Amino acid sequence: MQPGPGHVPSPTPALLGGLSITLLAVLVYSIYTIHQIQTVREVQERLVDRNRRASLQLLRIQDNLNELGLAMRDMLERSEPYPLTAWTAPLGRIRRDLDDAIRLESSLATGRTPNDRAYLENSLRQFWDALDLTFEQARNGRDEEARRQIRDSLQARRDALAASIARLLVNNNEADQRAGAQMAEIYSRLQRNAYLFLAAMLTLILITGALAISFNRRLFQRITDLSIQRSTLSRQLISTQEQTLRFVSRELHDEFGQILTAIGVMARRAERHAAEPAVAQDLSELQSVAQEALNKVRSLSQSLQPVILQESGLLPTIDWYLPVVERQTSLKIHYHRPAGDLALPYDASIHVFRVLQEALNNVVRHSGAKEAHVRLSRKAPNLILEVEDSGSGIGPRTGGGIGLVAMRERALLLGGRLNISPGPSGGTLIQLEVPIPREVPTA
């Protein structure tokens, strides 16, 4: 089926597509960002933290090697009155602490080749073997050979170990710098990607917003056109309705009224010439029926198109109409009218009167109330008409009945508004508020 000329294509597929792309982009970027953050965390845990703790152990090893160097210097200088074997316990303590530091550093070190690790272990083992040999010579009374062993072998081995530890510290510092550079690169990439993602999201939002704005503009234009058409059609329908009511009222008043009047005149004339009392009685009853029908026709004619509205205005028409409703429906109406007179153009008066008629009809037909309040007041620059009942309240009938639709249309034609709400004490309150033309004086 081809769309009509007023058809506005729905933006739902395009908007859903844009939303799906946006959500997919957010999901992909979130996964990527989480992966990058995990990478940074792993680099920090694997390199930075471990290298820092490994460096602390290397510094501990350096301290132990320095203590060894100081101890060997004292052993060579003979400044202490102790034999060489007296240094066994202090050097044993240093050895245990040094072995523990080497073990911890080996478990924390990253990027260390097996050759480097084997070289450090072999150098340390050779050093301890040479130290054991030195103490063995000292225990055998060969102190000079032991000191020569310290001077020629142990000090050189300690210096080699210190150089190896210093080189490892330098390597750790370089590893820290590389890890810092790697993390800085990751952060820079995350920042760049965040800017790109933000730009992409803004672009998608702008495209989606432009699409929505374009559709809304076309939709509002379509609604405006339909509103104008509806308003025009409403005016035409209401005008046609008033013309029809005026025609029916005139026909009832003129044609049927004349017929019923003629029937009554002929029945009265025939009654005067009737020879039998029974016939005269029937003709009298016929005359009464014709008169009653004539009164009802005239009342209906006035309800359809009250002549009094054109001749006297809105307030006298309401004064006449409300007692008629009370007689016809047994509804008790409490009427509150403004003081003085109220002069409105006939076009405005007829719409206000029709709203009052429809509101009272709704009270009689739907509310089940026995009483109603009609209030007419002026609140510059508006005229306010209120019809309130104490019946069953607002129900489904308030949704869109043709009578209520006509009431709203009449309010719009007058440039006013119609409100339908629950009454203060239950029931329903219908309020019509329309502007009073400035050129029309109010007393």
Question: What are the sequence ranges of the domains in the chain?
Answer: 12-213, 306-435
The DSSP bridge partners found for residue 383 are 378, 434
CA separation for the pair 141, 56 (Å, rounded): 40
- Asked whether 273 and 232 are in contact (CB, 8 A), the reply is no
- Asked whether 411 and 432 are in contact (CB, 8 A), the reply is yes
Using a 10 angstrom Cβ sphere, with 0-12 exposed, 13-18 middle and 19 or more buried, the burial of residue 315 is middle
- Asked whether 357 and 333 are in contact (CB, 8 A), the reply is no
Using alpha carbons only, how large is the chain's radius of gyration in Å? 55
Q: Could you tell me the two tokens for 258?
A: 């004349």
The rounded Cα 281 to chain-centroid distance in angstroms is 82
Residue ranges for the chain with pLDDT beneath 70: 1-12, 14-15, 18, 43-47, 79-80, 110-112, 238-239, 241-243, 245-247, 249-257, 260, 271, 273-275, 294, 298-305, 393-401, 438-443
pLDDT tens digits, 329-347: 888 989 898 877 777 788 8
pLDDT of residue 5: 45
Q: Residue 321: name the closest of 299, 347, 341 by CA.
A: 299
Q: Could you tell me the two tokens for 91?
A: 């050097």
Q: What CATH topology corresponds to 12-213?
A: Four Helix Bundle (Hemerythrin (Met), subunit A) (1.20.120)
What pTM value is reported for the model?
A: 0.48
Number of residues in the chain? 443
Considering all CA atoms of the chain, what is the largest pairwise distance in Å, rounded to the nearest integer? Answer: 183
The DSSP bridge partners found for residue 209 are none
Q: Could you tell me the two tokens for 47?
A: 């390199």
- In DSSP notation, 3-59 reads PPTT-----HHHHHHHHHHHHHHHHHHHHHHHHHHHHHHHHIIIIIIHHHHHHHHHH
Question: Is the CATH code 3.30.565.10 the one for domain 306-435?
Answer: yes
pLDDT of residue 212: 79
pLDDT of residue 397: 45
The DSSP bridge partners found for residue 375 are 336, 386
Amino acid letter for position 395: G
CA separation for the pair 48, 46 (Å, rounded): 6
pLDDT tens digits, 253-283: 666 667 767 777 777 777 676 667 777 777 7
pLDDT of residue 400: 52
Give the Cα-Cα-Cα angle 359, 364, 367 (nearest 5 degrees). 85
